[in-house]
Amino acid sequence: MEDRLKALAEEARRELSGAPDAGAVETARVKYLGKKGELSKVLGGMGKLSPTERRALGEVANSVKDEVERLLADATGRVQDAALEAELHGPKLDVTLPGRGRPPGRRHPVSRTLDEVVRVFARLGFEVATGPEVELDFYNFQALNFLDDHPARDTQDTFFVDPAWLAKRPSSPVLLRTHTSPVQVRAMLGRKPPLRIVVPGRVYRRDSDITHTPMFHQVEGLLVDRDVTFGELKGTLSAFATAFFGKGIKTRFRPSFFPFTEPSAEVDITCVICSGKGCRVCKGSGWLEVLGAGMVHPNVFKSVRYDSADVTGFAFGLGIERLTMLKYAIDDLRLMFENDARFLEQF
C-alpha cells in the first residue's frame, strides 16, 4: 500500500508539471483527491490493517495528500500566470478610448409644451389641479350648462363607457372626458373662492383624421374671485402668448360660443409662420386660433353653489398638440403620436 501511495505521488508530480491549463489542473484534482479519487481508493483498504500498520500508513498518506495539494496549488499559479501572459500578448485593448455611452432620453414635445404652459401660468399665481379621464356626464356636460339635448354635445363626439363594465351603478352616464373643463366643476365643488387653477391632461373625442386624433391634451384655466373682468382675461392670455411665443406676438379675441362661458371668445395669435403676412398655414388670414375662453356662466356657478352676485370668473382652454405644432413649426399632427426617434431627437 505504501508503494502504491508513493507511485501515486510520483504520477501526480508528472501529470501536474505538464498541465497546460486550469481545466487540466481541475481534472487532476478530481482524479487524485476527489471523493472517488485514487487516494480514497488506496485508503479504502486500510480497514483490514492492524492499528500500528494503520498509523504508519496514515502518516504516509497524509504526506502524499499534502504533496498533491501543494502540486495543485503550484500548477494553478502557473497556469494562471500563463493565461495572464497570453492575454497581455494577445490583441491590444486600449483602455483610454472613450466609452460608447448611451444617448440620453429626451422629453416628448407634448410633455415639454404641457410643462411650459403650466410654468407660465404658475408664474401668474395659478396652481395645478387634476381630475379623472373617465368622467361622469354630470361633470363633463350637465354642470357645465350643456343641457340634455343641447346641440353643443354633438360637437364633442363622445366616447361613452358601457355601464355593464362598471362595478357600481353610476349616478349619470360615464364617458371619457371630452375636455378638461369638468375639472373646473370638481375644483369649485371642492373649495371656496378665490380660486386660480390650471388643469393639464388628456382628453378624448371620436375624431380621427389628419388634424384630429382620438386622444389629445389640453390645459384648462380657471380664475374666480370678486370683480374679475373680461379685461383681466385678455391681459392674462396676452401675457401667456408673449411668454410662450415671444414678444411681437399679438392676440385677437373673436366672439364665440361655449355653453359654460358668457361672453365667450376664440383667441387668435399672429401667425408664427408668416408673422401675420398671410400664408398656407393661416390660410392667408395672418391669424391662428389657439384657444377658447370666456367669463364663467352663472349657471355653472349655480351648479357648484357659488353666488354669482358675489363672484365672477374667467376660464380658458388650450390644445397642447396644436400649440406645440405652432411653436416648432410642425406640419403633421401624426408626428406627435408615432414616436419616431428621428423626430423626437430634434427636441
Site residues for ligand PHE per CB under 6 A:
179, 181, 220, 258, 261, 292-294, 315-317
- Least distance (Å) between residue 220 CB and ligand PHE: 6
Give 258 or 287: the residue with its C-beta nearer to ligand PHE.
Answer: 258
- Least distance (Å) between residue 172 CB and ligand PHE: 18
Q: 81 vs 28, 76, 85, 94, 210, CA distance in Å? A: 19, 9, 6, 21, 68
- Least distance (Å) between residue 180 CB and ligand PHE: 7
- Least distance (Å) between residue 299 CB and ligand PHE: 14
- Least distance (Å) between residue 222 CB and ligand PHE: 8
Listed residue (288, 158, 132, 142) closest to 214, CA to CA = 158
Query: Cell triple for residue 209?
Result: 383624421
**Shortest Cβ contact with ligand PHE: which residue?**
317
Q: Please give the distance of CA 135 from its chain centroid, rounded to a whole number.
A: 24
Contact in structure between 58 and 45 (CB atoms under 8 Å) = no
Listed residue (199, 170, 169, 168) closest to 182, CA to CA = 199
- Least distance (Å) between residue 265 CB and ligand PHE: 8
Q: How far apart are CA 255 and CA 264, in angstroms?
A: 6
Give 38 or 220: the residue with its C-beta nearer to ligand PHE.
Answer: 220
Give 260 or 287: the residue with its C-beta nearer to ligand PHE.
Answer: 260
Evaluated on CA atoms 113, 119, 124, 127, the torsion sign reads: positive
Where does the chain have alpha helices with state H? 2-17, 22-33, 38-44, 51-89, 109-123, 137-140, 182-190, 230-245, 298-303, 320-328, 335-338, 341-344
